Structure 1
Amino acid sequence: MSEWKDDKMSCPPEADRTGRIVHLADFNLTQPARIMADMRAYWDSLRQGRAVPARSDIQPQGIRRALDYAFILERIAPGAARFRLAGQHLIDLMGMEVRGMAFCSLAHSSSRGRLSDVLESVFRAPQLAQMTLHAKAEYARPELSARMLLLPLSSDLGDVTRALGCIIAEGQIGVAPRRFDLTHDEVLPIIEGGKTLAPSASDPGREGWSAGSARAGKLGRPAGLAAPERSLGRDDSEGRRSQFQLITLPGPSRPTGRTE
């Protein structure tokens, strides 16, 4: 209604000048496609010849329509990020304040590995990512579908370790928190026609994860530590936990009872 008043219209638009019926759904500002398009357009407008805009360029006024669905991520490790800011919609989905929470807490454990890989490809390339999410119906939790967009940002130091995102769920939230399965993902180049980096398993021992890549926020393995064995057939977060090894340190020497 506020937009109609701004346009000095006394009633909602029902037809254009050609007599074509205009559906009110076309003016629904909460449509996922419209919110994601507005977010992408705003992000593009901030680039100004750069590969990605800076985190400091983001202003709430620029994403007024999408503000409730927006969030900002901070990369803290390969394939891992935490929420720095989040809109009300995400808070409602999780049933709590999400600032400081891990990004992968949105997903069930079976989808966290892939979600982590897609996230890391956004920072590494850098590139954009679109995802489709789904939550099955449970007691007091109706079936829920959602769409998510991730857009890379640079920090004050110039490295790509921030991301602007939005998530839009359609349906009744029910009892929070709601967690999702990742059903589809797609990576997009920053410039149309450019190349993209396919998401792959985040393994610090793989080529490209060296200390020389520190400017992009990548972490290398300290010298002298052998690469952990990979768990066959498991590419999710549980499989990655199984790669940790227990190291036994030598204990203090025991007295022999002999005196000199």
Structure 2
Amino acid sequence: MRHKNNLELFEYWTSKRGNRPAPNRTDIEPADIRTLLPHVFICDLGAGNELNFRLAGTALCALYGRELKGRTFGSLWLDDGIRNADRTGASVVSRATPAVLTLDCLSTEARIIKAEMLLLPLTGPSGQYDRLIGLLSVFDPPYWIGHDPLIGFSTTGIRFIDQSRDPVFLANRPEIRLPSAAAGVHSPSRTEKQRKVAHLIVLDGGRQD
């Protein structure tokens, strides 16, 4: 786990679960994680082990340029990754096993950004493991978020967290490396990233000595 937001949510979730495999949905107080809420989502497990968004933070929705509530979890992935994403999410819930995913995120203009997703199981009103809380953290958020929507994720690595072992540095389970479907997609050069604003041209970056 590399992103501080994911680590913060994991530590909060761990404090709420106590000696249980997972906390209850009612144990999670939004006010306790208010700085993380724009990046947080909650999914429940429906028929056929399909996860559906009950709630999606504004930052996640902004990446896709649309509201995600009611959509399926797997729909955030590129076509060849949907099945694996659904199986991973369902496994997190049914086995009450947290997971960390590393992602390549592909935009409509073929830009790629790196991100990390944390998936944590929750119990519902019935006491069964039937939902999860997650958080998506983008590394080095680019200027074009909100203007160039994502078309899908590609999972490049999965790590399941063994709660029976000391999670120091969260390295108690090796990451399973996966090939990225976005690999080989052209990433714009610096000159291609010039943006026109009225009669001005804005260059990304800053002073470089």
Scaled by the length of structure 1, what TM-score is found?
0.59
Residue 113 of structure 2 aligns with which residue?
144
Give runs of aligned pairs for residues 113-128 of structure 1, distance below 5 A: 113-128=83-98
Deviation at 1:193, TM superposition (A): 5.7
- For the pair 1:188 / 2:157, whether they are aligned, the reply is no
Give runs of aligned pairs for residues 204-219 of structure 1, distance below 5 A: none
- For the pair 1:159 / 2:128, whether they are aligned, the reply is yes
Deviation at 1:78, TM superposition (A): 4.0
Deviation at 1:65, TM superposition (A): 2.3
For residues 87 and 137 of structure 1, do their structure 2 counterparts lie closer, same or farther at Cα, with a shift above 3 Å needed? closer
Residue 107 of structure 1 aligns with which residue?
77
For residue 96 of structure 1, give the secondary structure of its aligned residue in structure 2: coil
* 2:22 corresponds to which of 37, 52, 59: 52
For residues 43 and 183 of structure 1, do their structure 2 counterparts lie closer, same or farther at Cα, with a shift above 3 Å needed? same
Q: Is the 8 A contact 2:43 2:53 kept in 1?
A: yes
- For the pair 1:70 / 2:40, whether they are aligned, the reply is yes
Amino acid at match of 1:49: N
For residues 83 and 160 of structure 2, the distance between their equivalents in structure 1, rounded to whole angstroms, comes to: 16
* 2:101 corresponds to which of 131, 147, 152: 131
For residue 46 of structure 2, give the secondary structure of its aligned residue in structure 1: strand
Q: Is the 8 A contact 1:132 1:148 kept in 2?
A: yes
Residue 208 of structure 1 aligns with which residue?
none
Amino acid at match of 2:100: Q
Residue 194 of structure 2 aligns with which residue?
none
* 2:55 corresponds to which of 85, 105, 116: 85
For residues 7 and 57 of structure 2, the distance between their equivalents in structure 1, rounded to whole angstroms, comes to: 17
Deviation at 1:178, TM superposition (A): 3.4
For residues 132 and 156 of structure 1, the distance between their equivalents in structure 2, rounded to whole angstroms, comes to: 31
Q: Is the 8 A contact 1:78 1:120 kept in 2?
A: no
Query: Looking at CA atoms only, which structure, 1 or 2, has the larger radius of gyration?
Result: 1
Coordinate RMSD, CA, aligned: 2.4
For residue 167 of structure 1, give the secondary structure of its aligned residue in structure 2: strand
Count of matched residue pairs:
166
For residues 117 and 133 of structure 1, the distance between their equivalents in structure 2, rounded to whole angstroms, comes to: 16
Residue 4 of structure 2 aligns with which residue?
34
Deviation at 1:143, TM superposition (A): 1.6
Moved over 3 A (4+): 193-196
Amino acid at match of 2:41: F
Deviation at 1:134, TM superposition (A): 0.4
Residue 94 of structure 1 aligns with which residue?
64
- For the pair 1:178 / 2:151, whether they are aligned, the reply is yes
Deviation at 1:135, TM superposition (A): 2.6
Structure 2: gaps of 5 or more residues? 177-209
For residues 9 and 113 of structure 2, the distance between their equivalents in structure 1, rounded to whole angstroms, comes to: 22
Residue 137 of structure 2 aligns with which residue?
168
Deviations 1:100-137 (A, max 9, x none): 11011110011111111211211221100100110346
Q: Is the 8 A contact 2:107 2:150 kept in 1?
A: no
For residue 43 of structure 2, give the secondary structure of its aligned residue in structure 1: strand
